[in-house]
Amino acid sequence: MSYPFPDARLLIFAKAPVAGQCKSRLAAGIGDQAAAEVQEELIQHCLSEVCTRPLCPTELWCAPDCEHPLFQSLAAEFSLALFQQQGRELGQRMFHALSQQQVQAQATIIIGTDCPVLCRDDIESALLALNQNNDVVLGPAEDGGYVLIGLKQAEHRLFKDIDWGTADVYAQTVQACKSLGYRWHALKTLWDIDLEEDWHRYNRLKSISYE
């Protein structure tokens, strides 16, 4: 396959849609089974958006492992390689995945599947930013986290001492970039689905798009 950015890599982080094991904050509002169904929809939506016309070689990084039937079917549908996430917390898992790409990729981007408004154009903007002499690109989230991070090389200090799951993640990562002397670029701010009100927001957006 011919890619617009053949020397880059897109890594998609996804947790298996198993009731009681995913989207815990959302499940508190809508129940475990409904939250698992939301998780499955979000994974499918994300891959349809960024893998139908892929910009670069893309990998699906799975948790807790790669065996869930959804992961297997999506790997076949989009010709994706599957990898198991490694590490106790998110920063360790992301750094591990990034470190696997240092030899073969000139730029690597990680996204999750929780941001339904993240689109192919956002991935392209991130790749272009990395091509324009930026060391890091970040996609800030409204809740203080980020929905995308891209780097030219893995750097563990960008993932150390970050309060994952809090409103301080983006600011702490920006401070880490400054401390390292990195040139960084911010994309537009987007929103992701963590709580019941986020899910209702997405449903309103879908209803508008269908009109």
Query: pLDDT tens, 173-197?
Result: 999 999 999 999 999 999 999 999 9
Q: Which residues of 16-31 are buried (b: 16+ CB within 10 A; e: fewer)?
A: bbeeebbbeebbeebe
d(CA 84, CA 181): 32
Query: pLDDT tens, 93-106?
Result: 999 999 998 778 99
d(CA 26, CA 3): 36
Where are the domains positioned within the chain? 8-210
Query: pLDDT tens, 116-156?
Result: 999 999 999 999 999 999 999 999 999 999 999 999 999 99
Find out whether 145 and 167 touch, Cβ atoms under 8 Å.
yes
Residue 39 has pLDDT above 80, yes or no: yes
Domain 8-210 has CATH 3.30.450.20: no
CA angle 13–14–16, rounded 5-degree value: 155
CB under 8 Å to 77, separation ≥6 — which residues? 47
Amino acid at 78: F
Query: pTM for the complete prediction?
Result: 0.96
d(CA 123, CA 71): 21
pLDDT averaged over every residue in the chain: 96
- Work out the average pLDDT over 18-28: 97
